[in-house]
Amino acid sequence: MENKQKKKVIVGLSGGVDSSVAAKLLIDQGYEVEGMFMRNWDSFLNNDILGNPNDITDICPQEKDYNDAVEVAKTLGIKLHRVDFVKEYWDNVFTYFLNEYKKGRTPNPDVMCNKYIKFDYFKKKAIELGADYIAMGHFANVKIIDGITHLYKGKDLNKDQTYFLAMTPRDKLDNALFPVGNLTKAEVREIAKSLNLITANKKDSTGICFIGERHFTEFLANYLPAKEGNIISTDGKVLGKHYGLMNYTIGQRKGIGIGGLNDEEKLPWFVVGKDLKNNVLIVGQGKENELLYSDSCIIEDINLINPLESNDLYGKFRYRSQDVKIHVEFKENNEARITYDHVKSVTPGQILVFYGEDGECFGGGIIKEVFYKGEKRKY
């Protein structure tokens, strides 16, 4: 058994309860623990780049998170470093985020934040500071099998975060620890309460990774000017106006803005397609509308954490969606065709993640095209 007293771990201390408890657990396990707070967003700097001074609403929440991290570090008696990855976040995560929306797709910046920031730039900085390991407050687990790192779902399946780690290369996960992976969220909060940590009752963060909670449409308009266009029904009838295709995603029901049409059946409307060329949003009625479903897709930019144990796996098409049986057929150019039975709202730009029966996460890819009965969907 290794002498953990000699092993140094730097924890990504975000100012949230999960990373706070992760740090405490590592201390109890005998590691030398330090914290590192990442500052990845600067409204003044980013708006100076764009000539837009309006989006400054995240400054106070970000500073509050830092202050909470400071208090946690004091309570635990550990050193806290503060590092800026503002440029790295802009170049590797936010630029990707904007480019995907320009293509009419629905990106997942949290996945890329893990890949490029938390497990790349953060890890490099931690090594500079003498770390043997890095640790995060993710609900996930790693196992070393025959010297190889394997990623597995966390105990709390409702909070499992392997979906967001699927695009992170295996070498970036080497020497990464996930101390809360074998706990439930409720257990994490109980530990935090027992220690009187300032983060014990702090609600979970939502919204875009490191950018936080905000009115999404207004936020996006700061960077991508909205282009108004028609909303049409599946039979071509104009029902109203949309305020930019990037503000809608396949399967969306709320916020379409066409409720209360007197001459239509009283079934809810859903986004069932986008015509990017003509700037048209296509909607259909009924939550079981056939246009919401697909039975195959093409994924690209595949990342395999480890080789697949089989081409018949389980796939997760978006965070917290049910895992479904899939078949993977690899193609050229790091793409694959994925077949499955009748799944709703499979959306280009989102991440499809591969799992084994035992919960091992093998990686995933970005959904490129979606099909139903051989016909490409207008997604």
Q: Pick the catalytic residue: 60, 209, 297, 361? A: 209
Is 209 a residue of the active site?
A: yes
Phi-psi region of 359 (alpha: psi -120 to 50; beta: other; left: phi over 0): left
Tracing tokens 């630029």 back to the chain, one arrives at 95
What six digits make up the tokens of 280?
């048209």
How far is 363 from 162, CA to CA, in rounded Å?
9
For 116, other C-beta atoms within 10 Å of its C-beta total 21
**62 closest CA partner among 16, 107, 93, 95:** 16
What six digits make up the tokens of 46?
């980013």
Strand order in the sheet with 269-275: 238-242, 229-233, 280-285, 269-275
Let me know if 201 is exposed, middle or buried by CB neighbors in 10 A (0-12, 13-18, 19+): exposed
What six digits make up the tokens of 341?
């039975």
Is 361 a residue of the active site?
A: no
| Residues forming a β-bridge with 296 | 339, 371
Tracing tokens 């480019």 back to the chain, one arrives at 99
Sign of CA dihedral 254, 258, 264, 270: negative
Q: Pick the catalytic residue: 60, 113, 297, 361? A: 113
Active-site residue set: 113, 209
